[in-house]
Amino acid sequence: MKKIITFAGSNSKTSINKQLAVYASSLVEDVDVEVLDLNDFDLPLYGIDLESEKGIPDDAHRFLNLIKSSDGIVLSLAEHNGAYSTVFKNLFDWMSRIEGKTFFGKPMLLMATSPGPRGGASVLGIAQDRFPRHEANIVEVFSLPSFGDNFSDGKIVNSELDEELKEKVGTFKSTL
């Protein structure tokens, strides 16, 4: 059976992006889903001096190995001031020191949501530009605007947006 990993680019215990990622991955039928939480990966703030003195933390290797051993990735990025959250950028920086092609060509459903009407559009733009240089195979992109209005009880309540996500999940599933 195929295995996908799903996670949010956030360390919030109540992350709206984690809620979206978990919902989206629940729509991928006939796969094993492993939900990752960035809080479970203890990584100091990346710096070249720290890397030179102490090496690369085991948790960076562990996360990268989870990507490597998966058949696909469902990722929903939090947007902080128009860019990646610090916790995600730090993880990304550490992993890229181990393997520049951090995503290993794995099919990716890339998403974002936010409380506002742009639904993380800025961070999605950054990721769509950057991730392919790290061998991301971005199969589909989905943005959920106005999370509080469009998501409730663990699912998207706006039928039009829910149908759009389900179509994109279907495309993602077909690439696994």
Whole-number pLDDT of residue 142: 98
Whole-number pLDDT of residue 46: 98
Whole-number pLDDT of residue 131: 98
**What's 146's DSSP letter?**
S
Whole-number pLDDT of residue 103: 98
Give the predicted TM-score (pTM) of the model: 0.97
For 117, the token pair is 């009407």
Mean pLDDT by runs of 10 across the 176 residues of the chain is: 98 98 98 98 97 98 98 98 96 97 98 97 98 98 98 98 98 98
Whole-number pLDDT of residue 175: 98
Cα separation, 4 vs 12, whole angstroms:
22
For 54, the token pair is 């102490």
Angle subtended by helix axes 86-98 and 58-68, to nearest 10 = 80
What are the extents of the domains in the chain? 2-174
Whole-number pLDDT of residue 73: 98
Single-letter residue type at 145: P
Superfamily of domain 2-174: Flavodoxin domain (3.40.50.360)
**What's 44's DSSP letter?**
P
Q: Mark residue 153 as left, alpha or beta (left: phi above 0; alpha: psi -120 to 50; beta: remaining).
A: left
